[in-house]
Amino acid sequence: MGRAMHVLIIEDDFLTALLLAEILGELGFDSSAFAATEQEAIAAAGRQCPDLITADVHLQAGNGIAAVRKICTGKAIPVIYVTASRHQLTHLSEAIIVEKPFTDFAVKTAVAAASRMHPGIATDSPRGQ
């Protein structure tokens, strides 16, 4: 296996965040940080720069779009928006979006798209397959 991969999951629903971590773990993301608010996300990214970010749009406090904008300033970090609010992302033409409710396949397809755009996040084959 290659180097350890770290994902920042910006999601205010804990079960959704755990499911995303499990799916991403199958793809080789060995560590995860969780953030339920915009400020928690910024702080988590400051502690450890993520190799990938998944972000919901609506959070308990703040929003995922603003958190991503602040975290990614000057950095090339791939982002996958996992949200039921796709319409709020129309201004982000290059955005990779997974709509809620999502499937494992949708998340894995989005990660594959992100890895094509950012080759540094080449993932392992799903574990157990």
Per residue in 59-99, pLDDT (tens digit) is 999 999 999 999 999 999 999 999 999 989 999 888 999 99
CATH number belonging to the domain at 5-118, selected among 1.10.10.10, 3.30.310.50, 3.40.50.2300, 3.10.20.30: 3.40.50.2300
Half-sphere exposure of residue 75: CA atoms within 13 angstroms, side-chain side: 17
Q: Report angle CA 67, 7, 58 to the nearest 5 degrees.
A: 35
What pLDDT is attached to residue 68? Answer: 97
User: Model pTM?
Assistant: 0.91
What pLDDT is attached to residue 127? Answer: 40
Beta carbons of 59 and 75 less than 8 angstroms apart: no
Token duo for residue 114: 């992100």
What pLDDT is attached to residue 123? Answer: 61
Integer CA distances (angstroms), 12 to 23, 28, 64, 83, 123, in order: 17, 23, 10, 11, 25
Model confidence at 126: pLDDT above 60: no
Burial class of 3 by CB neighbour count within 10 A (0 to 12, 13 to 18, 19+): exposed
Model confidence at 121: pLDDT above 80: no
